[in-house]
Chain A
Amino acid sequence: MSVSNAIDQPAVRPAAARNIARTFWQTLGRRLRRDPVSILCFGFLVAIVLMALFAPWIAPADPYQVNMLQRLQPPGTEGFILGTDELGRDLLSRLMYGARMSLFMGLAPVFIATIIGGTLGVVAGYAGGWVNTAIMRVMDVFYAFPSVLLAVAISGSLGGGVRNGLIALSLVFTPSIARVAESVTVQVRTQDYVEAARATGAPAWRILMTHVLRNVAGTIFVFSTSLVSVSIIIASGLSFLGLGVSLPEAEWGMMLSSMRQSVYLAPLNSVLPGVMIFVTSVSLNLLSDGIRSAMNVKG
């Protein structure tokens, strides 16, 4: 590539990069609006989020009100639209409150892992050499564990609880995001506009922020969205094992776990929290599929 060309128009390049970045999100939005399945899933997820946010105002009853005389009432019982759990608490209210923690545990670890893994991957990919080797080989070590096993082992040895679950899940997702970030960064790094910016003498951090990050963010985002449903499932799994939230907090995985024995008495009530996890996870997967095919990402 010619260096003189780059020096001639240094101001044009960053602007062009910004345009590309903006069109990525615009294209995504425009294409998703044409996909009925994605719209449906998006709408459903918005409804779940609203339900979680406004749980204290829309829940029909107190989710922690124990009523030993009304245990395991079937759905449709007077006063309990979806019945009650093993301690006579209103299931619908608990499901609404449970959405808060379950969604949080789905989104927060992926968010943290995207920031950490994305940074590590971009730095490794841009720096190359021994920095790349050092970062990516450490990631490989974490990648050498089955994800559920790593999550259980770390949160188990840290002693359980929400904070430790968050740490464990963030650690589980960081390596895979770092891998994706590294491989796109390596591709972007050799592009003409990055070479041009380097030739103009722009400092590395500015090249990273304006040229590299804007162009890899989309791919990393698409990949991260596909991890949210996995995160919800594993996080609920941790609660199910007793490593997540503590009693009597309402959380879908925890509710499933506490009603495990009730499956013999009231199968329908006991599996309801799982229906919520399942439906949320299906919507997330379908939406992430929609995003992938809208942006032509394979896999």
Chain B
Amino acid sequence: MAGFIAYRLLYVLPISIGVSLICFALTYMAPGDPASSIIPDDASPEVAAQIRAAYGFDRPLPIQYLLWLWRVLSGDFGVSLSTGRPVTDEVIPAMMNTLSLAGGGALLAAFVGITLGTLAAYRNGRLSDRAISAVGIAGMSVPQYWLAMVMVAIFAVELGVLPASGMGQPGDDFGRTLSFYVLPILTLATVPAGIIARSVRSTVSETLQQEFVQALEAKGLPAWRIFLHVAKNAAGPALAVIGLQFANLLGGSILVETVFSWPGTGFLLNAAIFMRDLPVMQATVLLLAMFFIVANLLVDILQMLFDPRVKSARRG
């Protein structure tokens, strides 16, 4: 078991290097010269060359990559081209805002998904099972940015009970601050809730068909205690799906944050793309991807703690 964890931890290293290479390459995929967004249009060739040298754009690519990586590892992502502030000052608060949304969304999705999925598995094939499965499919298929607009149309425009966008003012009381979270979290939770419900349904119904459940029934164990056994067996796969969905929310909230003008990483990334603010773009993508890698790592390790059999399946 320790061997698997060590292997899994070590594997993060090459993947992270690959991810950093892609993030570095993003700058060079952009049409034109990466320095062109910094150099003023009327700059003379000499001034332009000086600016290039100052940013290190005149060095060979591998050297540029290593220098960039070294600075990133020491926590320096450079300076935002549009605001002139250090990129870290822009990205870290945005990251916090995204994490609070994604965390809330994942919690809500896990609660709803597990409840509906378990109910559906126990009502196998009956009308309520079909209804829950239909809700699951609908939840999976909905475009989140559209759902966000529908939420705004219903709760902010028609009913006028919840704020449509932003995070409120710093001086707002707790209830008011909380109200800004409601619509984005509801929107974010819908798709993962559908996916979790479907997955939990299939895991629980498979577990229910296993022989040990029949043995427990024959033994005369009350239904709720049998459920505890079932839950223990279904927990591993369910956890894996929930973890993956949380990780996906980190990257998937880009569109939802844009609709709700939520000052998170998605909003920041979107703005950075249109301002061609490459340092901010690189930092945001890199940080989100690193969170994604760590979340996946934790899921794998937790899943293995729940079910050591996973180890052999994953490594093989």
Contact = CB atoms under 8 A, between A and B. Distances in A.
A binds B: yes
B15 A237 contact: no
A141 B146 contact: no
Interface string A27-55: 00000000000000000000000000000
Interface in A237-287: 237, 240-243, 253, 256, 260, 263-264, 267, 270-271, 273-274, 277-278, 281-282, 284-286
Contacts of A285: 137, 140-141
Given A157-B281, A278-B143, A260 B149 contact: yes
B150 interface: yes
A260 B288 contact: no
Contact of B281 (A142, A156, A236, A241): A156
Nearest to B293: A144
Contact of B273 (A141, A152, A273): A152
Interface string B253-286: 0110011000000000110011000100100010
A15 interface: no
B152 interface: yes
Interface string A286-298: 1001000000001
A148 to B, nearest CB: 5
Contact of A277 (B146, B251, B292): B146
Interface in B142-161: 142-147, 149-150, 152-154, 157-158
A281 B143 contact: yes
Contacts of B247: 146
B53 interface: no
Interface in A155-171: 156-159
A263 B258 CA distance: 15
Interface in B69-116: none
A149 B251 contact: yes
B19 interface: yes
Interface string A200-241: 000000000000000000000000000001000100110011
A157 B273 CA distance: 7
A159 B31 contact: yes
A51 to B, nearest CB: 19
Interface stretch (B21-29, B173-181, B228-236): B21-29
Contacts of A298: 202
A192 interface: no
Interface residues of B, number: 50
A162 to B, nearest CB: 15
Contacts of A267: 153-154, 157-158
A148 B273 CA distance: 14
A2 to B, nearest CB: 27
Interface in A125-151: 137-138, 140-142, 144-150
A7 interface: no
Given A146-B248, A154-B29, A278 B146 contact: yes
B292 A256 contact: no
* B18, B255, B281 interface centre (most CB from chain A within 10 Å): B255
Contact of A263 (B15, B157, B248, B289): B157
B15 A274 contact: no
Contacts of B14: 137
A153 interface: yes
A145 B21 CA distance: 13
A156 B273 contact: yes
Nearest to A275: B146
A145 B146 contact: no
A236 B142 CA distance: 12
A147 B250 CA distance: 11
B49 interface: no
A236 B14 CA distance: 33
A-B pairs, top 3 by smallest CB distance, nearest first, are A146-B251, A274-B146, A141-B18
Interface of B: 14-15, 18-19, 21-22, 26-27, 29-31, 137-138, 140-147, 149-150, 152-154, 157-158, 202, 247-248, 250-252, 254-255, 258-259, 269-270, 273-274, 278, 281, 285, 288-289, 292-293, 296
22 contacts: A140-B15, A145-B285, A145-B292, A146-B247, A146-B288, A146-B292, A149-B254, A149-B269, A156-B273, A158-B31, A237-B143, A237-B145, A253-B145, A260-B259, A267-B157, A270-B153, A271-B150, A274-B143, A274-B147, A277-B143, A281-B141, A281-B142
